[in-house]
Amino acid sequence: MSVSMKELVCNVAKKLSDYENMKRIINHPSNYIKIGNRSINPFNELSLSHGLPALCALYGELSEQYPDEGWDVLGHQYMKKIGKQINQHGFSSLSMFTGLAGVGLAAVCLSKGGKRYQNFISNINQVIEERIEEIIDYLKQKPYPNMDDYDAISGVAGIASYCLLFPQEMKKSITLILKYIVDLSQDKQIEDIKAPGWYIPPENSFSEMEKRNWPSGFFNIGLSHGIPALLIVLCNAKKLNIYVDGQDECIQKLADFLIKFQIKDENGAYWGTHVSLEEYKNGSVLNKNTRDAWCYGTPGVAYSLLITGKTLKNQSYIDCAVSGMKLASKRLYDIFSPSFCHGLSGVAYICNRFYEETNISYFRKTAHKLANDIMEFYNDEFPFGFKNIEGSEENKEYYDCVGLIDGTAGILLTLLAIQNSKKTPWDCAFLLSEV
């Protein structure tokens, strides 16, 4: 491709600064994402996943990479809009991708190493500290969890990932979440067996499809909505010397569960998306339902085991993670979008993190190759340079999105990080940041 990475990223980032034009394009009814009988607006002003905080994170990173080009000014325009929205309407949750933690992360990325937005960030941290106990108490009373109680997207794992940016200031919140994770991981009686408390019964399924596919309930093993997120939070807290009783045993239990429930076939060993209750009883996985993405499948699981292996100094976990990630990055099963969550950017960035953690040159080469592949999706005629591609390989649906999860911000941040190394902690949104 003739256009350089910097030129591509900066051209698109400038387009994203036209607020009214951006809203007009995203909010057009033809851009609503169709899921079953529902149409979902792919823009949510205050969400890191689909809104302005993602653009603030992008401009914060650009400001660090290219400090004399005014990116911080563009970011500040959006931070002012975010502040105004919160003042007028409040916030929906504490979560990373749709709530206050994501707004806090956006401000951190724009803060020039903590020099700016100090009061704003401090106020967010204080609200989280004040409210997290009530949330945890509510979750503990539930007989079984929903995935968004504890997951990276909407649950306490995502909130913890943000709090870990402030290990002293937010130690109370971190400790409460760690205790919840340890408690959640205790075995409980399910039908005629004992099983880990992160089991999700059919009535707590996220969707009708989940209920159909796993009618007896399941254990979610995707990084976005499942137990790898819990594993990463426990390990990262341990690295920061934040401990609760049972933490090490819980790390071991989660990791061993993931090791045990690999899919093994002629291709090698890799991970699916869920483990059914029947599979848990049988001790092995039969369903090969998977994709090779950050959200679900091998890349996210492998990363969690890599971090666990390094934290516990367990080489077998590291070896398992490395071989799984090599397989996934070659196979790229069900990967056809340039986006982060379930697309090429997520795989490319995890390869980049594998290289940083292992120094294995294969991962560096693969990250750069995938970054080049991502750039091939770029089209100057697209409003935001890239389209998010949903649907399937056979029936692709194209959408204009700007957020971190499935939009252009996540793609551009990935390209910048692989080319130049990252300068801000935007990747803690995906639980991929070095601690």
Instruction: Look at phi and psi of residue 231 and say left if phi exceeds 0, alpha if psi is from -120 to 50, else beta.
Output: alpha
Whether the Cβ atoms of residue 180 and residue 139 lie closer than 8 Å to each other: yes
Burial class (CB in 10 A: 0-12, 13-18, 19+), 206: middle
The token duo for 181 is 């994770």
320 belongs to an annotated ligand binding site: no
CA–CA gap between residue 386 and residue 399 (Å, rounded): 9
56 belongs to an annotated ligand binding site: no
> Within 10 Å of residue 70's Cβ, how many Cβ atoms?
13
What 3-state DSSP class applies to 216?
Answer: coil
295 belongs to an annotated ligand binding site: yes
Whether the Cβ atoms of residue 49 and residue 403 lie closer than 8 Å to each other: yes
Whether the Cβ atoms of residue 278 and residue 216 lie closer than 8 Å to each other: yes
- Total number of residues shown for the chain: 435
> Within 10 Å of residue 330's Cβ, how many Cβ atoms?
13
What are φ and ψ of residue 343, in 5° steps? -135, -165
Alpha-carbon distances of 417 from 86, 390, 432, rounded to whole Å: 30, 24, 12
Whether the Cβ atoms of residue 278 and residue 207 lie closer than 8 Å to each other: no
Whether the Cβ atoms of residue 258 and residue 235 lie closer than 8 Å to each other: no
Kindly give the pairing relationship between strand 38-40 and strand 193-196: unpaired
CA–CA gap between residue 252 and residue 313 (Å, rounded): 12
The binding site for Zn(2+) consists of 295, 341-342
The binding site consists of 295, 341-342
